[in-house]
Amino acid sequence: MKKIIKLISVFLLMLILAVILFLYQSLTLYQPPLTQFISMNEKQSFEPFVEIDSKLSCYRPMLDAETISTTQPLKLLVWNVHKGEDKGWQSLLLNYEEKTDFMLLQEATSLQKLPQLLQRMPNQLFASGFSYRDMQSGVATLSLFSPQYYCSAAVDEPWLGVPKTSVSSVYPLDNGKFLLIINVHMINFEWTPTAYRQQLEQIMQQLQQRVDAVIIAGDFNAWNQERVEILQQKMAQFGLHEIPFFPDNRLRFNDFPLDHIFVKGLKAISATTKKTKASDHNPMWVELAFD
């Protein structure tokens, strides 16, 4: 009987190892992130350059970007779309498309074909940390506007080794100033927030650029008090404040909301969240005015 149990144990161990090997053979990691800019303007192209340091992959356009009006409100959707695994995500995005200037999506994938779905959003930035069976996954920023330049960065999940990505984009304003938007998906699986701090430092380093208005938004995975304090202290250090929501239906873990929007040089006209079954996260939508 002991021999049979031993044989079964060995078989199960080999089976588990075979499954893990199969999964990793189907997995491709991108460090630095695989970053793509897709534009309906076929003449627009970007060339790589180093803006801050070698940890950031940065690109600038061959043509000048159109300016954004500071007299008009800026409308922003932020949503973790759960890789499009839930029914109804397409119709929800299409409903928001008509009233949105920027969409900041986390857990977006190449299989969702977002540029084809959201044709009113002619510009897409997609920074992918990995691909599984040819499906790339990462953060996507879709907008009406082409960036002056953009950067992407990633930090590896300590337990899984999968890169968590962020993508930043800078836009010229009609008053001669600049708007910086950073779309983030923060480290999750880590008990001591060492890599979490590292990724946050990497993100905030981009505020050393000459920008006047800033939006940092996404899935921050701030699921305990320590992470919340780290996040709040760092944002306050750079003069950003958090947008409150009414009603507040954001996804919570341990009663801490995971998704946030922080701004500088802007103020909220309205900020809402919407309950949905189209993802495990609920979308955040804000209307902002420039200071």
**Domains in the chain and their CATH numbers?**
29-290 (3.60.10.10)
State the pairing for strand pair 178-185/163-172: antiparallel
CA distance 273 to 271: 7
Cβ-based neighbour number of residue 113 at 10 Å: 11
State the pairing for strand pair 102-109/74-80: parallel
Of 180, 266, 251, the closest CA to residue 221 belongs to 251
pLDDT value for 224: 97
3-class SS string, the chain: CHHHHHHHHHHHHHHHHHHHHHHHHCEEEEEEEEEEEEECCCCCCEEEECCCCCCCEEEEECCCCCCECCCCCEEEEEEECHHHCCCCHHHHHHHHHCCCCEEEEEEEEHHHCHHHHCCCCCEEEEEEEEEECCEEEEEEEEECCCCCEEEEEEEECCCCCCEEEEEEEEEEECCCCEEEEEEEECCCCCCCCHHHHHHHHHHHHHHHCCCCEEEEEEECCCCCHHHHHHHHHHHHHCCCEECCCCCCCCCEECCEECEEEEEECEEEEEEEECCCCCCCCCCEEEEEEEC
Of 181, 194, 123, 131, the closest CA to residue 152 belongs to 181
pLDDT value for 22: 45
CA distance 207 to 39: 26
Tokens describing residue 97:
């498309």
CA distance 267 to 217: 14
Strand pairing partners for 150?
59, 169
Tokens describing residue 40:
């309906």
Q: pTM for this one?
A: 0.90
Cβ-based neighbour number of residue 137 at 10 Å: 24
Mean pLDDT of each 10-residue bin along the chain, 291 residues long? 55 48 70 88 68 72 86 98 98 97 98 95 94 93 94 93 95 96 97 96 86 96 98 97 97 98 98 98 99 94
State the pairing for strand pair 57-61/149-156: antiparallel
CA distance 141 to 147: 11
Question: Residue 280 is which amino acid?
Answer: D
pLDDT value for 42: 64
Angle at 182 between CA 287 and CA 79, to 5 degrees: 60
